[in-house]
Amino acid sequence: MVPWFAIPAAILFLLGLYVGFFVAPTDFQQGEAYRIMFIHVPAAWMGMLLYVLMAFYAAIGWAFNARLASMMASALATTGAMFTLLALITGALWGKPTWGTYWAWDARMTSTLILLFLYIGFISLQAAIDDPKRADRAGAVLAIVGVINVPIIYFSVQWWNTLHQGATIRMMGKPTIAAPMLAALLIMLAACWLYAIAVVLYRLRVIIQEREQNASWLAHGAG
């Protein structure tokens, strides 16, 4: 099933980059610098959405003792952390030429950094506990408590007077960018989704096999 997502992801990445670099016009305010948007915005969205998904699966796994859901949460964590780190790096590289600084302790940037720490905390906590059941439970508590951070990131640009600009794409109303820019952004977002699905499904399979192996090794050792 993985190639069904991985191959379209690769095609859409290339298409999104083509539209983003060769079709979309130069921004009248930011010049070419805005082209970082095509990777920065999807990465930031993925970081937040994957966290919510991770917390959701962790909660299901905890509440219903559903081991597969817990394993799904573990599989999502690394990819979510990767996208969050990418959003922070590309954000810094975008901030320098437009704001004059790589980093500021602005509400959105700080809360996104906290998101990365939550992912790292979840991954390290699970890695530190040998018993998978206890690891899943401890991870679930952290993931669920941390989910409060996601709306804080999302609304930070409205709640506080931040250096970071407001939303360009809104649920309601027209987006405030040219059509090819929006097209490139949405294609890149779709590519990121497909990539995330492919990688997470692959990792889920590896995690399932790892746990089976550990269980059989334990049974073998005990017997």
Partner 1 sequence: MPPGLRTEPVEQMSDFFSMGGYAFYIWGSYLAALILVGGEIALLVKRKNALKRHGLDTAGNRELDNDSHG
What number of CA atoms fall less than 13 Å from residue 10's CA on the CB side?
Answer: 7
Does residue number 202 form part of the binding site for partner 1 (CB under 8 A)? yes
Backbone angles phi, psi at 161, to 5 degrees: -85, 95
DSSP notation for 16-55: HHHIIIIISPPBTTTBGGGGGHHHHHHHHHHHHHHHHHHH
Q: Closest separation between CB of residue 17 and partner 1, Å?
A: 8
* From candidates 114, 164, 180, 186, binder to partner 1 by CB under 8 A: 180
Backbone angles phi, psi at 96, to 5 degrees: -55, -55
Task: State the residue for tokens 């920065």.
Answer: 40
Does residue number 85 form part of the binding site for partner 1 (CB under 8 A)? yes
The CA distance from 137 to 1, in Å, is 29
Q: How many residues bind partner 1 (CB under 8 A)?
A: 40
Does residue number 124 form part of the binding site for partner 1 (CB under 8 A)? no
Does residue number 175 form part of the binding site for partner 1 (CB under 8 A)? no
* From candidates 97, 101, 134, 215, binder to partner 1 by CB under 8 A: 97
Among the listed ranges 55-63, 105-113, 120-128, 210-218, the one in contact with partner 1 (CB under 8 A) is 210-218
Backbone angles phi, psi at 72, to 5 degrees: -60, -40
Does residue number 221 form part of the binding site for partner 1 (CB under 8 A)? no
The CA distance from 28 to 39, in Å, is 20
Among the listed ranges 27-35, 48-56, 144-152, 164-172, the one in contact with partner 1 (CB under 8 A) is 27-35
Cβ contact 157:166 at 8 Å: yes
The CA distance from 53 to 143, in Å, is 10
* From candidates 45, 61, 77, 90, binder to partner 1 by CB under 8 A: 90
* From candidates 12, 16, 40, 185, binder to partner 1 by CB under 8 A: 40
Contact residues: partner 1, CB under 8 A: 17, 21-26, 31-33, 35-36, 39-40, 43, 78-79, 82, 85-86, 89-90, 93-94, 96-97, 178-180, 195, 199, 202-203, 206, 209-210, 213, 216-217, 220
